[in-house]
């Protein structure tokens, strides 16, 4: 009997505006508010023109966090009822974000729905998120997310096929006859690990990497999946195919609550990995976030590579990656708060450099227009134009390709880089879950302050250092491809020596507001100093100007990340991490 398609009345919610990377809320919001999930999914489908949607292919997968399965069941029922012809779903409903981008492109889908809140904690008390990616495989641009939000605000009904049940555990095709539809609705459960592995095989020299990882003089790796989605990809690609021993992949079983941890690959939340590398047994380490699109790179003894430096080093060694030998290099890009280390490589190699707002979606147009090959963000995302998402495992293989070619350690490669270009010291302070009104008021006051003409040329003295404001503005971006303007993308104070203080409100939190302060400073001579000590005067200025502690009642950041391990003994590093 054909399955029935129903139209169900509903009432709109005012708070379904997608943030930096989709809609992120506490799990209980999705569970306790009637049709909260259904409304948002309907808004996504309704945002796609009916002619494009009818009979189309859509990809669905998630990072396996709590509520992933429930959401997929609903999405399948709603996709069928909304005229989608074919759904491609990851085995057991799980796919990493880069794999989804790859699969959307491979199957020429009109888009994909990604169920992830990335690095935010999971489990019944954690976060859940929904993101829509378009046909190019990348996160929907602001025009699309604004449309989804507008539709959600007036949502009155949704379409659903409530009796449709799909088996996510069995690879292959399942078909369903629907009432009043001529063609059956098809679901294909795919092995996304294989599709993604195949993509990487065409980018990197797997024979060279295999020799590095399992040949005669092989190096030792430790890869921490942080119980996110990346585990099966690490095991198949790094262990089975490239020959890393099984025990080099730790925390590689995906869990609904990420084992109770924060799947955020940084020195605070991946501290166990850093700690376990202290003994010098491993030459290279990496940790991944919940949905596998970010990674943190470590050298021997836990030598830390900031994401800003990481993309700059990859850029400087880009032809160690065979893919770029074929495509050539069209351009580099970084998000505005990311340090300017990449700019120096771009300048030296005479390659165009783009500075975009925070959010991977801003790189997509440049890539589609053939103007961008490699990009990165301070938030541990790095990637190329092979897909339209940042790619944690790709970044690891990029680094390993450099190691294999140069036959040097991570530390030596980075130090050589600083000697060649100078060093951009970088740090970021996060104040999580602060009062929204206090945070907004602080940003508004800061904006007024820096807009005042008298602010430029103002001097700040801390200890024996004097900083003079050269430029201060609210970052605004005009997309070079379609001329779309994105306003209010963070407040910048740039000093005469090139140092910067940047204030931004995060767009990925689920509770209250998260204030981020980014600080960076360039040094040509003193390149082996401690990051926190080097940036301390600027941090003092940043806190003084904003009165952040006074306004939020906090005495320090929630976590202090991206600190340098170079000089401090590890015990001190963690003292700095926690306030």
CB closer to ligand G16, 184 vs 507: 507
Q: Residues 186, 56: contact at Cβ < 8 Å?
A: no
- Active-site residue among 43, 47, 118, 564? 118
CB closer to ligand G16, 214 vs 506: 506
Residue closest to 265 by CA, chosen among 298, 309, 218: 298
In whole angstroms, how far apart are CA 182 and each of 138, 326, 508?
Answer: 32, 45, 41
CB closer to ligand G16, 67 vs 418: 67
Distance of CA 433 to the CA centre of its chain: 20
Q: Residues 435, 509: contact at Cβ < 8 Å?
A: no
Least Å distance, CB 515 to ligand G16, is 10
Cα 341 from Cα 420, distance rounded (Å) = 11
The contact set with ligand G16 (CB under 6 A) reads: 20-21, 118-119, 293-294, 358-360, 377, 379, 381, 506-508, 516
- 372 three-state secondary structure: coil
Least Å distance, CB 24 to ligand G16, is 8
Other Cβ atoms within 10 Å of 578 Cβ, number: 12
Least Å distance, CB 308 to ligand G16, is 12
Question: Using H for helix, E for strand and C for coil, what is the string for 304-363?
Answer: EECHHHHHHHHHHCHHHCHHHHHHCCCCEEEECCCCCHHHHHHHHHCCCEEEECCCCHHH
Least Å distance, CB 381 to ligand G16, is 6
Least Å distance, CB 516 to ligand G16, is 6
CB closer to ligand G16, 343 vs 377: 377
Q: Residues 355, 311: contact at Cβ < 8 Å?
A: no
Cα 198 from Cα 202, distance rounded (Å) = 7
CB closer to ligand G16, 122 vs 299: 122
Characterize the bridge pairing of strands 284-288 and 295-299: antiparallel
Instruction: Give the up-direction half-sphere exposure of residue 21: CA atoms within 13 A in the CB hemisphere.
Output: 23
**Beta sheet of 185-190, edge-to-edge order:** 23-26, 127-134, 111-115, 57-62, 86-94, 185-190, 172-176
CB closer to ligand G16, 176 vs 380: 380
Identify whether 118 is a catalytic site residue.
yes
Q: Residues 254, 228: contact at Cβ < 8 Å?
A: yes
CB closer to ligand G16, 405 vs 506: 506
CB closer to ligand G16, 77 vs 116: 116
Cα 538 from Cα 521, distance rounded (Å) = 9
Per DSSP, helices labelled H in 122-175 are 142-152
Read off the DSSP letter of residue 370.
T
Least Å distance, CB 487 to ligand G16, is 15
Q: Residues 535, 518: contact at Cβ < 8 Å?
A: no
Q: Which residues are catalytic?
A: 118
């Amino acid at each position: 009997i054909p399955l029935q398609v129903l139209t169900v009345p509903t009432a709109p919610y005012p708070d379904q505006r997608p943030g930096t990377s989709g809609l992120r809320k506490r799990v209980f919001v999705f569970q306790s508010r009637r049709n909260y999930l259904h409304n948002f999914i309907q808004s996504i489908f309704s945002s796609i023109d009916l002619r494009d949607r009818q009979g189309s292919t859509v990809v669905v997968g998630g990072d396996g966090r709590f509520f992933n399965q429930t959401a997929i069941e609903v999405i399948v029922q709603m996709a069928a009822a909304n005229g989608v012809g074919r759904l491609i779903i990851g085995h057991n409903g799980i796919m990493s974000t880069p794999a989804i981008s790859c699969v959307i492109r491979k199957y020429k889908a009109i888009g994909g729905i990604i169920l992830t809140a990335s690095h935010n904690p999971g489990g019944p008390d954690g976060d859940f998120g929904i993101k829509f990616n378009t046909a190019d495989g990348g996160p929907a641009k602001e025009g699309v997310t604004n449309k989804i939000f507008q539709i959600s605000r007036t949502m009155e009904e949704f379409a659903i096929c409530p009796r449709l049940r799909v088996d996510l555990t069995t690879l292959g095709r399942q078909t369903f006859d629907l009432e009043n539809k001529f063609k059956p609705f098809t679901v294909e459960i795919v092995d996304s690990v294989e599709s993604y592995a195949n993509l990487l095989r065409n980018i990197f020299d797997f024979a060279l990497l295999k020799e590095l990882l399992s040949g005669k003089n092989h190096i030792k790796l430790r890869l921490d999946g942080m119980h996110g989605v990346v585990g099966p990809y690490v095991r198949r690609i790094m262990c089975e195919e490239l020959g890393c021993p099984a025990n080099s992949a730790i925390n590689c079983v995906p869990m609904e609550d990420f084992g109770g941890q924060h799947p955020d690959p940084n020195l605070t939340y991946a501290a166990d990995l850093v700690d376990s590398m202290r003994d010098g047994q491993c030459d290279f380490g990496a940790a991944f976030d919940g949905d596998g699109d970010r990674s943190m790179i470590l050298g021997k003894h836990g030598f830390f590579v900031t994401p800003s430096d990481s993309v700059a080093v990859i850029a400087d060694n880009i032809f160690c990656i065979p893919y770029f030998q074929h495509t050539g290099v069209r351009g580099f890009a970084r998000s505005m708060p990311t340090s300017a280390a990449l700019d120096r490589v771009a300048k030296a190699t005479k390659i165009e450099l783009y500075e975009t707002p925070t959010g991977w979606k801003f790189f997509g147009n440049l890539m589609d227009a053939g103007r961008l090959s490699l990009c990165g963000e301070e938030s541990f995302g790095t990637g190329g134009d092979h897909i339209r998402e940042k790619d944690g495992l790709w970044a690891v293989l990029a680094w390993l390709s450099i190691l294999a070619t140069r036959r040097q350690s991570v530390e030596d490669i980075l130090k050589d880089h600083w000697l060649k270009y100078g060093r951009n010291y970088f740090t970021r302070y996060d104040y999580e879950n602060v009062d929204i009104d206090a945070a907004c008021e602080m940003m508004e006051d800061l904006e007024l302050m820096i807009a005042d003409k008298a602010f430029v040329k103002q001097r700040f003295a801390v200890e024996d250092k004097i900083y003079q404001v050269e430029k201060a503005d609210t970052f605004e971006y005009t997309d070079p491809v379609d001329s779309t303007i994105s306003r209010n993308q963070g407040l910048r104070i740039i000093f005469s020596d090139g140092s910067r203080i940047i204030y931004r409100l995060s767009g990925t939190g689920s509770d209250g507001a998260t204030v981020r302060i980014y600080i960076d400073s360039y040094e040509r001579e003193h390149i082996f100093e401690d990051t926190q000590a080097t940036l301390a005067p600027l941090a003092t200025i940043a806190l003084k100007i904003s009165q952040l502690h006074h306004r939020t009642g906090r005495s320090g950041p929630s976590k202090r990340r991206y600190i340098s391990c170079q000089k401090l003994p590890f015990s001190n590093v963690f003292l700095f991490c926690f306030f």
